[in-house]
């Protein structure tokens, strides 16, 4: 038995097995679904940490699925970049699963709880697979696993609008997946290989080929759709607003991250910087698009009255930051973009968990009903405040770290207008979170929402149950921990950035 050498595949096998076992054990008792999910996400998280640790000490890990050699067989390759993203996804998946128990019991029909956890674990399997695989077709398969399960998850929302949101997401997601598949097909046509490392060796000779350019165009549009980059974001706000709280939390903090990961992987690992900058002015296009995304996301978020919809539009802007870091493509900005993958997952995770807790306790979804919540749910609202400050980019929080590196990178590249973009967006963020914080702490709750139940009416505190408050507070705490002790994630992100930019 050599489980240790098989660790890279276990990170997928464990959630996959749990996704299959949940329907079987769920027949015995509904509570098994949550326990198995918790167990599986915990072990995936531990394994992803150990993978990252191995990568940091000994370098890349390559795993041959089925024992077939890489250019022919499927290879799982863990390097600085995906080792790091794996830990981010593993952490969020575990914490959100802890949170899920109560929230799912409340928001999902009793007979749908078992299928929910099964599909949820399938989604995690897909995420882990996307990140760890070194084979571009295998990547597509995992994208489909993650996407199909996320359509089902979104559709499980309480309101009927969830079905429409899921349907829109299904159509656009399928278009995106088809485009990615076409891109893969074109690359395979000219190179005859599907292994990413092999592709990056063979492609430079073909950079002026029209087929490769077409493939790249398909990849860009397909991935941007998955990523919800600004003009292609329209599926996202509805999907996040109407899905169950747990789903919006896990999707907002991981699903868009895998999009960002694929974009960075394709741009810098399959293609090279040489292609992105010299062959076509791709980076300039992306810098422009992501700047527009950053500003537009923040402006539209200002106009929202629904809490989760506002958070979704704020995600549109935040995704812009990650893409901006990749598009500027120098060491500092790339580090900033990569570190924002972790940071945004932490703060958006916190904020969506808070939204889930509020929904669980009071049924409130509208921002205007949040008056006086600071007194009713002090711990949850403290977490919200930390998350909000972090989104604004307040010093000592994670948001500041990523914006700092992005601004430095922009200056380094001589693109000083981008600093202006970052500052304007931070100010807008301050406005749209500021008005909520003002409601939470400085206004009395006169007209609480119609949905609010008796607990609120009895005045005084009505904090969410511990199993919901604790994960929220842990995520909020991490926003501060990694804001102060930023050197640790930054050092990993810097190594990954160095690797991607051809520093070896």
Partner 1 sequence: MKEHIVVRTVCSILIPFIQLFALYVVANGESSPGGGFQGGVILGASIILYAIVFGMKSGRKRVSERLSDLLISAGVLIYAGVGLLAIFAGGAYLEYGALPLGTKKLASHLGIYGIEIGVAITVAAVMITIFFETARHEDD
Positions that interact with partner 1 (CB under 8 A):
1-3, 6, 9, 13, 16-17, 20-21, 23-24, 27, 63-67
- Residue 12 C-beta: closest distance to partner 1, Å: 9
Distance CA 80, CA 45 (A): 16
Closer Cβ to partner 1, 3 or 446, answer by number: 3
- Residue 138 C-beta: closest distance to partner 1, Å: 13
- Taking every pair of Cα atoms in the chain, the longest distance, rounded to a whole number of angstroms, is 72
Distance of CA 226 to the CA centre of its chain: 11
Q: With CA atoms as reference, report the closest residue to 473 among 389, 344, 384.
A: 384
Distance CA 369, CA 450 (A): 9
Cβ atoms of 311 and 351 within 8 Å: the answer is yes
Sign of the alpha-carbon dihedral angle for 483, 501, 499, 6: positive
Closer Cβ to partner 1, 35 or 394, answer by number: 35
DSSP H helical ranges for 192-306: 196-202, 210-227, 235-242, 245-250, 256-264, 273-274, 282-302
Closer Cβ to partner 1, 9 or 322, answer by number: 9
Closer Cβ to partner 1, 60 or 106, answer by number: 60
- Residue 119 C-beta: closest distance to partner 1, Å: 13
Query: How many other C-beta atoms are found inside a 10 Å radius of the C-beta of residue 442?
Result: 10
Closer Cβ to partner 1, 19 or 86, answer by number: 19
Closer Cβ to partner 1, 50 or 498, answer by number: 50
Rounded to the nearest 5°, which phi and psi values hold at 228? 60, 45
- Residue 270 C-beta: closest distance to partner 1, Å: 24
- Residue 141 C-beta: closest distance to partner 1, Å: 14
Closer Cβ to partner 1, 63 or 405, answer by number: 63
- Residue 66 C-beta: closest distance to partner 1, Å: 4
Closer Cβ to partner 1, 65 or 234, answer by number: 65
- From the number of C-beta atoms within 10 Å of its C-beta (0-12, 13-18, 19+), residue 181 rates as middle
Distance CA 379, CA 155 (A): 31
SS (HEC) of 467-502: HHHHHHHHHHHHHHHHHHCCHHHHHHHHHHHHHHCC
N-terminal to C-terminal alpha carbon distance within the chain: 34
Residue 202's contacts (CB-CB under 8 Å, 6 or more residues apart) are 191, 193
- Residue 29 C-beta: closest distance to partner 1, Å: 15
CA-to-CA separations, 238 to 252, 309, 375, 426, 471, in angstroms, rounded: 12, 7, 30, 24, 25
- Residue 3 C-beta: closest distance to partner 1, Å: 7
Closer Cβ to partner 1, 1 or 110, answer by number: 1
- Residue 203 C-beta: closest distance to partner 1, Å: 28
Closer Cβ to partner 1, 155 or 327, answer by number: 155
**Residue 330 in tokens:** 């120098």
Closer Cβ to partner 1, 44 or 245, answer by number: 44
**Residue 97 in tokens:** 């699963």
Helix or strand run (H / E) with residue 306: none
Helix or strand run (H / E) with residue 150: helix 136-155
Closer Cβ to partner 1, 34 or 179, answer by number: 34
Distance CA 163, CA 172 (A): 14
- Residue 201 C-beta: closest distance to partner 1, Å: 24
- Residue 48 C-beta: closest distance to partner 1, Å: 17
Q: With CA atoms as reference, report the closest residue to 149 among 250, 266, 281.
A: 250
- Residue 10 C-beta: closest distance to partner 1, Å: 8
Per the DSSP assignment, residues forming a β-bridge with 80 are none
């Amino acid at each position: 038995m050599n489980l240790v050498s098989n660790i890279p595949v276990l990170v997928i096998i464990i959630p996959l097995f749990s996704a299959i076992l949940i329907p079987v054990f769920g027949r015995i008792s509904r509570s098994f679904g949550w326990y198995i999910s918790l167990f599986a996400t915990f072990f995936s998280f531990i394994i992803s940490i150990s993978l990252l640790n191995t990568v940091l000490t000994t370098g890349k890990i390559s795993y041959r699925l089925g024992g077939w050699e890489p250019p022919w067989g499927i290879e799982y390759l863990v390097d600085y970049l995906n080792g790091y993203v794996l830990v981010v996804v593993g952490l969020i998946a575990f914490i959100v699963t802890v949170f899920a128990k109560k929230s799912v019991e409340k928001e999902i029909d009793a007979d749908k709880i078992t299928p929910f956890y099964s599909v949820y674990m399938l989604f995690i399997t897909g995420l882990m697979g996307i990140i760890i695989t070194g084979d571009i077709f295998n990547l597509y398969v995992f994208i489909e696993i993650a996407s199909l399960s996320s359509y089902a998850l979104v559709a499980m929302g309480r309101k009927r609008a969830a079905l429409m949101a899921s349907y829109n997401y299904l159509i656009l997601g399928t278009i995106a997946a088809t485009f990615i598949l076409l891109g893969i097909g074109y690359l395979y046509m000219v190179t005859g290989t599907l292994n990413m490392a092999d592709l990056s060796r063979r492609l430079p000779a073909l950079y002026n080929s029209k087929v490769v350019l077409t493939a790249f165009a398909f990849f860009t549009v397909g991935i941007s759709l998955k990523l919800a980059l600004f003009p292609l974001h329209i599926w996202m706000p509805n999907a996040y607003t109407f899905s169950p709280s747990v789903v919006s939390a896990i999707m907002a903090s991981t699903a868009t991250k895998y999009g960002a990961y694929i974009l960075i992987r394709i741009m810098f690992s399959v293609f090279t910087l040489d292609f992105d900058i010299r062959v076509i002015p791709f980076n300039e296009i992306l810098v422009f698009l992501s700047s527009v995304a950053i500003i537009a996301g923040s402006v539209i978020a200002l106009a929202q009255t629904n809490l989760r919809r506002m958070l979704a539009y704020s995600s549109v802007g935040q995704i812009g930051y990650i893409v901006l870091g990749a598009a500027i493509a120098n060491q500092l900005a790339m580090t900033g973009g990569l570190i924002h993958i972790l940071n945004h997952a932490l703060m958006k995770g916190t904020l969506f968990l808070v939204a889930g807790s509020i929904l669980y306790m009071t049924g409130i979804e509208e921002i205007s009903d949040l008056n006086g919540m600071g007194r009713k749910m002090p711990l949850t609202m403290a977490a919200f405040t930390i998350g909000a400050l972090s989104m604004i980019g307040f010093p000592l929080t994670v948001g500041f770290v990523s914006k700092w590196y992005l601004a430095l990178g922009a200056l380094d590249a001589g693109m000083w207008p981008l600093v202006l973009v970052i500052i304007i967006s931070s100010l807008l963020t301050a406005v749209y979170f500021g008005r909520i914080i003002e409601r939470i702490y400085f206004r009395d709750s006169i007209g609480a929402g119609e949905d609010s139940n008796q607990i609120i009416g009895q005045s005084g505190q009505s904090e969410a149950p511990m199993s919901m408050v604790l994960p929220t507070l842990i995520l909020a705490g991490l926003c501060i921990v990694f804001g102060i002790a930023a050197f640790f994630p930054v050092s990993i992100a810097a190594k990954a950035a160095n690797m991607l930019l051809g520093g070896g």
